[in-house]
Structure formats: structure tokens, C-alpha cells
Amino acid sequence: MKFTIQLCTLALAAACSSAPSSHRIAPQPASRTLVSADDLAQFPGGWNALEALSRLRPEFLNPVPGGYGGSQVLMPTVFINGTERGSIEMLRTLRLAEVRSMRYYRSIDATTRFGPSHSGAVIDVTLVGPRF
């Protein structure tokens, strides 16, 4: 019985190690809350920040529970270089060439960093140079 279990374990290990490389799991980004310049470089220059974000991290664009006790459903607020700029539609006005990075702050982190009036998520965009 012990020999049979060892043989099955050995066969399973051999089968797993001989899987074709096309079935390997793709590497995950270093941070699920950050979209870096390297991430953005894969998109054509004519794209805007909203188009790229919808491909790279569509979960950033989802409504989240917010307000006192999570009683409301809120869309993320966009900050650019640390200043509040409005809704996610603001991302349409930013060409990728202007964007250095985009960082997502969940509700609790957004409230801590940006104040209690931001109980929903925040997408904080850092630009390459000054624009606003």
C-alpha cells in the first residue's frame, strides 16, 4: 500500500512537471494597486488613461460601498498629482504620454489619505510633468 501511494505521488509529480509551457500561469503585476509607466508602455500613444485602466485594472472602475457604514455605493474619485479632479470620466482627458502612474486606494485607505469626504475609492494619477 505504501509503495502504491509513493508510486502515485511520483507519477503525479512527473505529470505536473512535464506540462507544456503555454499552460503556465502568467506573472502577476508587482502591485495590484499600482499601474506603472512600464504597464502603460504596452498601449498605443493615442490611448487615454481610462482606456488603458479599463484593460489593465478594470476593477478600479467599479463602484464601491462607501459612506457611513457602507450605506452608499460610490464611484471612485480621481485625483491628479494629489489634487481632487472629479469622476473617472476625467481620465478620458489624460493621454497616456502624460501619465507616469496611477494608484488605487481602497475606501479605508482613501479616507485615511484624502480625508473622510472620500469614503469611496480614489484613483490617484501622477503626471509626467505639470499640467494643472
Q: Which amino acid is at 2?
A: K
Query: Rounded to two decimals, what is the model's pTM?
Result: 0.72
Is 50 exceeded by the pLDDT of residue 53? Answer: yes
User: Distance (Å, rounded) from C-alpha 32 to C-alpha 104?
Assistant: 8
Q: What is the pLDDT of residues 90-121, one digit of tens each?
A: 999 999 999 999 999 998 899 899 988 888 89
Locate cell 508602455: which residue? Answer: 41
Per domain, the residue ranges of the chain are 29-127
**What DSSP string runs through 11-35?**
HHHHHHHTS-GGGSPPPPPS-TTEE
**CATH superfamily to which 29-127 belongs:** TonB-dependent receptor, plug domain (2.170.130.10)
Dihedral pair phi/psi, residue 129, rounded to 5°: -135, 175
